[in-house]
Amino acid sequence: MRRILHVDLNAFYASVEEAKDESLKGKAIAVAGDKDKRNGIILTASYEARKFGIRTGMTIQEARNLCPNIIFIKPHFKDYMDYSNRVMDILRDYTPDVEVFSIDEAWLDVTGCERLFGDAKKIADTIRERIKGNLR
């Protein structure tokens, strides 16, 4: 039986911003375009912001109406690519069979890796801890 892990880095842009600036942790933040350039929509929101109903694709004004204290951050795509590459490198430490689907999502086939790293659940847990520990 094949063992395939799915990695999905939820709220990825917001998580990267929190990793770069620890003062943002625990706050309602949203990565959003520039409202003055007419591309002012939410690209992602932290879990704290999501509690207020903030969702991807929502306008900045809609988000502000739901959460007046929300912190808006302009996107830093170069940083997101850097963090994504670092995550994908971690995944490749466990198997060469990594299929990258997007900047924040991948599948990896860990079939046959059990002797080196443990069962699929152990590999997933180890990867999760490495990502949390190494990408701050």
pLDDT tens-place string over residues 68-78: 999 999 999 99
Q: How far apart are CA 105 and CA 128, in angstroms?
A: 13
Q: How far apart are CA 87 and CA 105, in angstroms?
A: 10
- pLDDT at res. 133: 86
Q: Is 95 helix (H, G, I), strand (E, B) or coil?
A: coil
Q: How far apart are CA 23 and CA 8, in angstroms?
A: 24
- pLDDT at res. 10: 87
Our answer to whether residue 62 is catalytic in this structure is: no
Structural tokens at position 48: 């704290």
Reply yes or no on whether the pLDDT at 136 is more than 80: no
Predicted confidence band at 37 (pLDDT cuts at 50, 70, 90)?
A: low
Of 18, 105, 114, 129, which residue is the catalytic one? 105
pTM equals 0.89
